[in-house]
Amino acid sequence: MNKEDILAFLESKKDEMAQVLQELVRFRTVSGMKDELSEKRYYDETRTCFEYLEEICARMDLPFTNLENEIAEITLGDYSEIIGVPLHIDVVPGWEKGEYEPFAGIRVDNVIYGRGTQDNKGPLASCLYGMWALKEAGISLKKRIKIIIAAEEETGEWNTIFNYVKNYNTPVFCFVPDYEFPIVNAEKGMLNIKLTAAWDKEAAPSPIEFVEFSGGERVNVVPDKATARFILQCDEIDMLSDKPEWIAKAVEDRMKEKPARDTIEVTRAFYGKSAHSSKPWDGHNALLDGLAFLKDCEYLPSKTGRLAQILRKTCSDMYGKGLNIDITHDFIGPLTISPGILSLKNGSLDAYLNIRPPINITCDEVVEQIRSKLDEYTTSLGFEIEVKQEGKCFEALWIDPEKNRTYIEPLREAFTEITGRKATLSAATGTTFAKAFPKAVTYGPVDPENDIEKAHQADEHVTLDQLLRNAKIYALAMWYLARE
The string of DSSP codes covering 50-73 is HHHHHHHHHHHT--EEEETTTEEE
Q: Across residues 291-301, what is the average pLDDT? A: 90
Do 31 and 84 lie in one domain? The reply is yes
pLDDT at 365: 97
Domain boundary among 394, 413, 438: 394
Q: Which range is least confidently modeled, 20-24, 295-299, 392-396?
A: 295-299
pLDDT at 108: 97
For the chain, the domain total comes to 2
Do 10 and 151 lie in one domain? The reply is yes
Distance CA(325)–CA(171), nearest Å, equals 36
Domain limits for position 197: 190-394
Q: Is the dihedral of CA 151, 152, 153, 157 positive or negative?
A: negative
pLDDT band at 323 (very low <50, low <70, confident <90, very high): very high
Distance CA(67)–CA(352), nearest Å, equals 33
Do 305 and 439 lie in one domain? The reply is no
pLDDT at 94: 84
Do 234 and 322 lie in one domain? The reply is yes
Do 320 and 403 lie in one domain? The reply is no
Domain boundary among 350, 379, 394: 394
Do 122 and 158 lie in one domain? The reply is yes
Distance CA(455)–CA(118), nearest Å, equals 6
Q: What percent of the chain has pLDDT over 90?
A: 81
Amino acid identity for residue 90 in this structure: D
Residue 182 confidence (pLDDT) above 80: yes
Return the CATH number at 203.
3.30.70.360
Helix-, strand-, coil-residue percentages of the chain, each rounded to 5: 35, 25, 40
pLDDT band at 257 (very low <50, low <70, confident <90, very high): low
Do 157 and 284 lie in one domain? The reply is no
Q: What does pTM read for this prediction?
A: 0.78
Q: Which DSSP category does 200 fall into?
A: P
Q: Across residues 199-208, what is the average pLDDT? A: 85
Residue range 439-461, pLDDT digits in tens = 999 999 999 999 998 988 899 99
Amino acid identity for residue 269 in this structure: A
Residue 387 confidence (pLDDT) above 60: yes
pLDDT band at 266 (very low <50, low <70, confident <90, very high): confident
pLDDT at 240: 59
Find the helix or strand (DSSP H, E) in which 442 lies: strand 440-442
Do 182 and 195 lie in one domain? The reply is no
Distance CA(392)–CA(160), nearest Å, equals 13
Q: Across residues 171-191, what is the average pLDDT? A: 96
Do 123 and 252 lie in one domain? The reply is no
Distance CA(427)–CA(416), nearest Å, equals 19
Residue 38 confidence (pLDDT) above 90: yes
Residue 260 confidence (pLDDT) above 70: no
CA–CA distance from 342 to each of 45, 117, 287, 290 (Å)?
29, 29, 8, 11
Strand partners, 91: 30
Q: Which range is least confidently modeled, 50-59, 101-110, 149-158, 313-322?
A: 149-158
Do 400 and 389 lie in one domain? The reply is no
Distance CA(334)–CA(342), nearest Å, equals 24
Residue 208 confidence (pLDDT) above 90: no
β strands within 218-335, DSSP E: 225-233, 263-271, 328-329, 333-334
Q: Are strands 173-176 and 440-442 parallel, antiparallel or unpaired?
A: parallel
Do 269 and 204 lie in one domain? The reply is yes
Residue 370 confidence (pLDDT) above 90: yes
Do 266 and 380 lie in one domain? The reply is yes
Domain boundary among 363, 394, 425: 394
CA–CA distance from 270 to each of 287, 318, 349 (Å)?
8, 19, 19
Contact 195, 385 (CB under 8 A): yes
